[in-house]
Amino acid sequence: MNKILVLIFLAAYATLWFAMLRYDIMMYQQNSYRFSRYRRWLPKSYKPQWAATIAALAVACWILTDNVVGMAIIIMLYLAWQELKVKYKKPLVYTMRVIRLLITAGVLTLAAIILSFIYIPHFMPAVALGLLALPVLMLAADVINRPIEKYIVHRYYREAQQTLASMPRLTVIGVTGSFGKTSTKNYLYRILSEKYNVLMTPGNYNTTLGVVRTVREQLKPYHDIFIVEMGAKQPGDIREICDLVHPTIGIVTAVGEMHLETFHTVDNILRTKFELLDALPEDGMGVVNLDSEPIASSNAPHDSRIVTYAVHNEGADYRAVDINYTSKLTDFSVTAHGTLRTGYATQLAGRGNILNLLAAIAVADRLGVDEALQKRAMRRIEQIEHRLSINRASGGITVIDDAYNSNPAGARMALEVLRDFAVDVGGRRIIVTPGFVELGERQAELNRQFGRDMAKACDVAVVVNLTNREAITQGLAEAGFPAECIHQTASFTEASAFLNRTLTQGDVILYENDLPDSFR
């Protein structure tokens, strides 16, 4: 091979290396840099097209002819471009830890190339096949960096502790739940901001490290209230955050079948979410959703510190009644400890959003926010993108975007909205979904039930991806859904192409979940 072709080959190889390593680190980051979680994801997240291409690359390196190597360059660049252009729902956040991980992994890769050059006559095939071991290489880099990371995390944690300790008057509100916590956090922030200076954890900063970063970078002495979203994938996760922030008010939005691969049972999920309630002081306040059956059947509602809310459960302290959905607003009244309040209205739709607002109302009452201010703020709350947001598209099409919902209980609420949505004459109710993952042994049955529920709410079902296709279509068939109204696509791109060909004026489309990116 000529020198220019060699340089181009190495550049293409480095580009593919970066694209693949970036993906591996992204998955590791999404699993909270915990090996036990990442190990469970790895068999599902690795992309088979990479293995096939790398094998072909190794053959190309072995043959070492310009034509074959040139083809390998094209394939490598194409694969790298395909990966780098992907817009992930949770993209890699280039923190300093990630940058250090990339640098260390790069050094290890370079060392492997040098060693291969010294000890193996045909070193490039070994280096090419070494790409297959990038997850192991990345984990090795993490092990090397671990003492540094441990020191940095400890220092940042201590700084966050000191900041919180310096603000004894700060009211900390924890929000957790299998679903609804992000929406509740945002609604509560908007309502409490009518009276107080409020900070909330941004985006999906719902881990201990995310909270630490928020405290260090954003919490200021003038803040009155700090709303902390608390996520969990295994027992102890909520307790760990509570040990840092010491909440005085805690909201548990719901308990449902999520992350069963790590929790195994709903009881384990319940106990983990209730770690927030256990952390509250004697004069604290817990706010729990009685429409969530696992919560309603637990002991929490009987604790004197607990305030309950619901739409259906008549025994709740706060309950939404007389709910009326219109094209622009949702009107409802609230019974608060037996007293009827009227005149509440919001741009949000769906029982789930009403429940989230009820939790915010209960906390606002506790913190002395006037009813008039609550109502004013509620009218101004805008829909959160991808969380049951309703938009009018061109051509008289309505889109209900619930792409960020990833659990069966939340999906049932979205299906209620689709089922009850007023459709113009000739319009159809359409659902586009890949179903749900991370449900362990219950995944197939829960997706079958999802199919049965879909049959009662839609006229056309578009099932995306192979992961849950069989279970969902089986559930649709069991409910008597017409086979000609079920459409199967390999990707959302293919589903969009199908919809573009078939949509007519008046159609209403529900996008329900979009599978974690590793299950594409």
Mean pLDDT of 469-491: 90
**Partner residues linked to 330 by β-bridges:** 325, 346
b/e per residue 269-294 (b: at least 16 CB within 10 A): bbbbbbbbbebbeeebbbbbbbbbeb
Q: What angle do CA 236, 242, 243 make, to 5 degrees?
A: 90
Tell whether the model's pLDDT for residue 255 goes beyond 80. yes
Maximum CA extent, the chain = 84
Distance, CA of 65 to CA of 73 (rounded, Å): 12
pLDDT of residue 116: 67
- Worst-scoring range by mean pLDDT, 30-44, 58-72, 296-310, 428-442? 58-72
CATH topology of domain 389-519: Protein-Tyrosine Phosphatase; Chain A (3.90.190)
Tokens of 231: 């996520």
| Percent of the residues in the chain that have a pLDDT greater than 90, as a whole number | 41
Instruction: State pLDDT tens for residues 98-136.
Output: 999 999 998 988 887 777 666 665 555 555 656 767 788
Distance, CA of 212 to CA of 377 (rounded, Å): 29
Please tell me which of 13-22, 276-285, 349-358 the model is most confident about, judged by mean pLDDT.
276-285
CATH topology of domain 167-380: UDP-N-acetylmuramoyl-L-alanine:D-glutamate ligase (3.40.1190)
Instruction: State pLDDT tens for residues 142-167.
Output: 999 999 999 999 999 999 999 999 99
pLDDT-derived band of residue 321, with 50, 70 and 90 as boundaries? very high
**Partner residues linked to 175 by β-bridges:** 229, 251
Domains of the chain by residue range: 3-148, 167-380, 389-519
Distance, CA of 127 to CA of 150 (rounded, Å): 31
With contact defined as beta carbons under 8 Å apart, do 10 and 76 qualify? no
pLDDT-derived band of residue 56, with 50, 70 and 90 as boundaries? low
**Partner residues linked to 389 by β-bridges:** 401
Distance, CA of 350 to CA of 62 (rounded, Å): 60
Tokens of 78: 């194409």
pLDDT-derived band of residue 44, with 50, 70 and 90 as boundaries? low
Return the higher-pLDDT residue of 156 and 384. Answer: 156
Please report the sign of the dihedral spanned by the C-alpha atoms of residue 231, residue 236, residue 239, residue 245. negative
pLDDT of residue 123: 52
pLDDT of residue 282: 92
Please report the sign of the dihedral spanned by the C-alpha atoms of residue 253, residue 256, residue 260, residue 263. positive
Tell whether the model's pLDDT for residue 317 goes beyond 90. yes
Tell whether the model's pLDDT for residue 191 goes beyond 90. yes
- Worst-scoring range by mean pLDDT, 80-94, 230-244, 368-382? 80-94
pLDDT-derived band of residue 329, with 50, 70 and 90 as boundaries? confident
Alpha helices per DSSP H over 297-435: 351-366, 371-380, 408-420
DSSP assignment string, 56-108: HHHHHHHH--HHHHHHHHHHHHHHHHHHHT---SSPPP--HHHHHHHHHHHHH
User: In a 10 Å sphere around its CB, with 0-12 CB exposed, 13-18 middle and 19+ buried, how is residue 110 labelled?
Assistant: exposed
Distance, CA of 267 to CA of 408 (rounded, Å): 16
Mean pLDDT of 273-293: 94
